[in-house]
Amino acid sequence: METITLNNIEIPKLGFGTWELKGNDGVKAVRDALQIGYRHIDTAQAYDNEEQVGEGWKKSDVLREDFFLTTKIFREQFETKEKAVKSLEESLEKLKTDYVDLVLVHWPFPEYKIEQLIEPVLEAQDKGMTRLIGVSNFTVEQMQQAKDISDNRICLNQVEYHPKLNQQPILDFVRENGWGMTAYSPLGRGTAMDEGVIKDIAETHNKSQAQIVLRWLIQQDNVLAIPKSSNPDHIQSNFDIFDFELTTDEMDQIMQLRSENDRQVDPDFAPQWDKAA
């Protein structure tokens, strides 16, 4: 498993996303992922599945200290710092753990100042509820504000990223500041796999298109990826990307697909996204 080290803590670059995985399917998917070998699980309060994630890891027989766990605090919880911290306590109960490894501010919610979003996660870290703190869906300007407010304790931004979305401004910032960038929707909800260049590279390596895209992501500096699936075969195949490497030319060919407007996630409350040059 390839890893990245942020603030002296090692994180597997390939994680397992759990958005939309609920009920028994969610429990089984998390259990299967951990048994296959994933050691990084990503969830969120807004996914309404923290209990299933907790049950899934308990059924996997993997020790809590042997995998990296992320959750995210959602919108209404930031009305006060106390409410946000309390909500994380409730998340820990659902996840059946005393701590998470990373807690994220889920969005730069427009009704709150950045300080109101960052101060609760700082307190949660001070209380030992999380080992690392970060943000999600923040722009470069907002990342800089978060960095300054947190005295460099924020260390990661989770954003949509795949071969058809150019996130170079975010990438430049995280690399310059020693942060990580986690790619959600890493397959572009399936759209990225339809490109001819990816099909050709997949044939060259005798791999699936999804495996090529995930390999392209984790070969990039400071980039992590969290594909999700409820299909056991897909969960396995998404994990089987550590027995080959893409060449520099193949990496560049896929880079040429990036477009700054093929965004799959863009709610009404999203910030004004950075434009790639």
**Which amino acid is it at 78?**
F
What residues does 134 pair with on adjacent strands? 104
CA separation, residue 164 to residues 39, 53, 238 (Å):
27, 30, 19
- Which one of the listed residues 47, 99, 161, 184 is annotated catalytic? 47
User: In angstroms, rounded to a whole number, what is the distance separating the alpha carbons of residues 269 and 111?
Assistant: 9
Q: How far is CA 158 from CA 24, 37, 134, 181, 273, in A?
A: 27, 22, 8, 6, 14
Is 47 an annotated catalytic residue?
yes
Which amino acids are annotated catalytic?
A: 47
